[in-house]
Amino acid sequence: MILAGCGGGSGSDPLDQERNQITPVIDCDGRCVDGASFLSVAEVKRVVAQAVHQANALSVNATIAVVDRVGNVLAVYRMGPFGGAVEITSTVPNSVRSGLDGVVLPQGRDGDALAAIAKAITGAYLSSEGNAFSTRTASQIIQENFNPRETDQPAGPLYGVQFSQLPCSDFAQRFLGAGVTVGPHRSPLGLAADPGGFPLYKAGTPIGGIGVISDGVYSLDKNVQDQDVDFDELIAYAGTYGFEAPVERRADRLTVDGKTLRYSDVMFSDLSVAPQDAPDLDTFDDVSLIGVTGYADAAVRSGTTFGQASSGIVPAPAEYDGLDAFVFVDQSGAARYPARDATDVDRLGGASLLAEEVHAILTATLGIANKTRAQIRRPLETFGRVTISIVDTNGEIIGVIRNLDAPVFGSDVSVQKARTTMLMSATDAGRYFSGITEPAKYLENDFVSVRQTVELDDYIDRSKALLGAQAFENGVAYSIRSVSNIHRPYFPDGLSSALSGPLNKEPTLGQWSIFSTGLQLDVSFNKILSHVLFAATGVGEDVGLSCNESEQPLRLANGLQIFASGVPIYRGRELVGGLGVAGDAPEQDEMMAFLGLYEAGENLQSGLSNAPVDLRADQLSPDGYRLRYVQCPQNPFVNSDEENVCEGL
């Protein structure tokens, strides 16, 4: 019995029945996408019809959104009258009133549509040909402990990713009112952890996502040890029929830190009605196609074909040949982020990064990725697929490259990481946050009265109390892992009896949740809430291309990120930029950044490299706890027995 429970006995696989019900697919490894890899109008309507059919069987009204792989909203349908109120909450009933936690989007508006869109985008953005992740997967990997409810365990490996793809991001594309456009597009609420969001697949490659909300609660799963009966998840899962993720690519076929991930608490056999029996969408009564301000008009659209110009992601120029390299393009087909000279030459002079150096770092880092054993991909022994971004000390993006099958979420995240590690390593980091003179304003649910104001300086003051009076002024080099050490809900990470990291809320005071993460959220809070109100109610104006206001808004224009992996770029002892990598597990991505920068510096012989050892944050030992700088996998490369590859660098 013990052997069977561990997967070593003769017990049957619970997914065997599921395999018999789903569409057979090819065994893709990152190159299956072709000209047919998109959702047609008829297919979008079929997905929605299957979801509506299930909702009717459950006697609930649902709001259903479908997106393509780069976040174009292809349709939003609402069952019944105007959408009900949607509460953003980490607990039911709500016990936290901080940040976005406890915010109730008003009834009769489009808060339900925003929640459904965020769920659909999450399913699409977190998935690839090598891995299929749902919003339930997201919930598991972003909480204060991994696994959730396992006390004295570190925070989830992607703790903080929920505040990416933000609506104020300068990287994310906007809906232009002319059908589908190049992506990746923004999400109204960032990435979602509320079950009810799944990727959609065709012939083994992701083509989009579906998101559903029917219960009026935008939350998360706090207990991964049980099986939930969640109406949002049942309805969304029904919608995936015929477009379901390949079983062998689902999160529950992947492990992180030896722990199996979760994909869904339901299977097709759990549905009340067979999705294949759903009638045509146009035959349903009281189901309305709706427009959503800032995201879609009231029309059903075909999706883009991933990897072609319409998607905004195309093969890279010839100088990247042989690297499986792709770049982002705008609506006209022009490259958005080619390698270019840095914009900070007025301050750095000859130390400023040059275009050929940016290209060399991108190439070296991509080369490391192309031999790294992926952690969150199948089949086993395949290479990591990531996005790599470089910024200068002004926060300007001066180069981005990616693999074809890198998960889309890593695009915006890699830029966030590059900017965060650059800014937190700068001698004027403290002054930057002081320059954001408008405090974060938590509003009551009338969206007029201010419940609480949060001064960003308070986080810096707490950091100085822990790290010393010169913290964020003394030129200490902070990798994203170093930042995450002091931005976790517990410090040291995972010790439940401890206080929070100084950049976070105090968990013992009931202020912390995944919807209220401290500095990360508060630096962008006003812009996020302003956009949500605009999109849900039509009040005010939409936000611009920066998530905060300061003397140099571009330095964190798409928000702050707090899970590894990114490193600052130095020339000698001078900070000249930031490098961010995202798309696989944090340790794999972190190693790519660290080794890629090292290798480029060795090849160029121009003084570029990682931070000098004596400047790195792992030289700090607040309260006897040594911060970390990088954490590389022990035996990271495919077809190689090389170990400890970061040691001594």
Q: What is the mean pLDDT of each run of 10 residues along the chain (649 residues)?
A: 32 58 74 95 98 97 98 97 86 88 86 97 98 98 94 95 98 90 97 98 97 96 93 98 94 92 95 96 96 95 96 97 97 97 96 98 98 94 96 98 98 98 97 92 91 94 95 97 96 85 83 94 96 89 89 88 97 98 97 98 97 97 92 95 95
Measured distance CA(450)–CA(77) in Å, rounded: 33
In a domain, 631, yes or no: no
Query: 626 in a domain, yes or no?
Result: no
Would 640 be classed as within a structural domain? no
| Residue 406 near residue 386 (C-beta atoms within 8 A) | yes
- Backbone phi, psi, residue 599, to 5°: -65, -40
Strand, helix or coil for residue 401: strand
Clarify whether residues 260 and 356 are in a common domain: no
Domain co-membership, 77 together with 214: yes
Give the largest CA-CA distance in the chain. Answer: 70
- Total count of domains within the chain: 3
d(CA 606, CA 594): 17
Q: In the prediction, which pLDDT does 11 show?
A: 41
Q: What is the pLDDT of residue 84?
A: 77
CB 337, CB 313: distance < 8 Å: no
Same domain, 55 and 200: yes
* Distance in angstroms (rounded) separating the CA atoms of residues 407 and 409: 6
One domain for residues 460 and 546: yes
Distance CA 470, CA 556 (A): 22
Can you give the pLDDT at residue 23? 61
- The answer to whether residues 194 and 77 belong to one domain is yes
**Main-chain dihedrals φ then ψ at residue 395, nearest 5 degrees:** 85, 0
585, two tokens: 């597990």
Is there a domain that residue 623 lies in?
A: no
Query: What distance in Å separates the CA atoms of residue 473 and residue 586, rounded to the nearest whole number?
Result: 27
pLDDT of residue 4: 32
End-to-end CA distance of the chain: 48
**Residue 322 lies inside a defined structural domain of this protein:** yes
Query: 437 and 418 in one domain?
Result: no
- Between CA 209 and CA 123 the distance in angstroms is 5
The reply to whether 156 and 245 lie within a common domain is: yes
In-domain check, residue 476: yes
Shared-domain flag, residues 518 and 596: no
Residue 295 phi/psi, 5-degree rounding, is -130, -40
Answer whether 414's CB lies under 8 Å from 480's CB: no
Residue 9's pLDDT is 33
Rg, C-alpha atoms of the chain: 23
Buried b (16+ CB within 10 A) or exposed e, 211-236: bbbbbbbbbbbeebeeeeebbbbbbb
Q: Quote the domain boundaries for residue 226.
A: 40-289
Looking up residue 388, the CATH number of its domain turns out to be: 3.30.450.150
pLDDT, position 230: 96
Residues 238 and 125 in one domain: yes
In 80-230, where do the E strands start and end? 86-88, 104-105, 197-202, 205-213, 217-218
- Contacting residues for 294 by C-beta, under 8 A, at least 6 apart: 167, 174, 175, 188, 531, 534, 535, 542
Q: Is the residue at 649 inside a domain?
A: no
173 and 124 in a single domain? The answer is: yes
Is the same domain home to 517 and 597?
Answer: no
Same domain, residue pair 569 and 508 = no
Q: For position 10, what pLDDT does the model report? A: 35
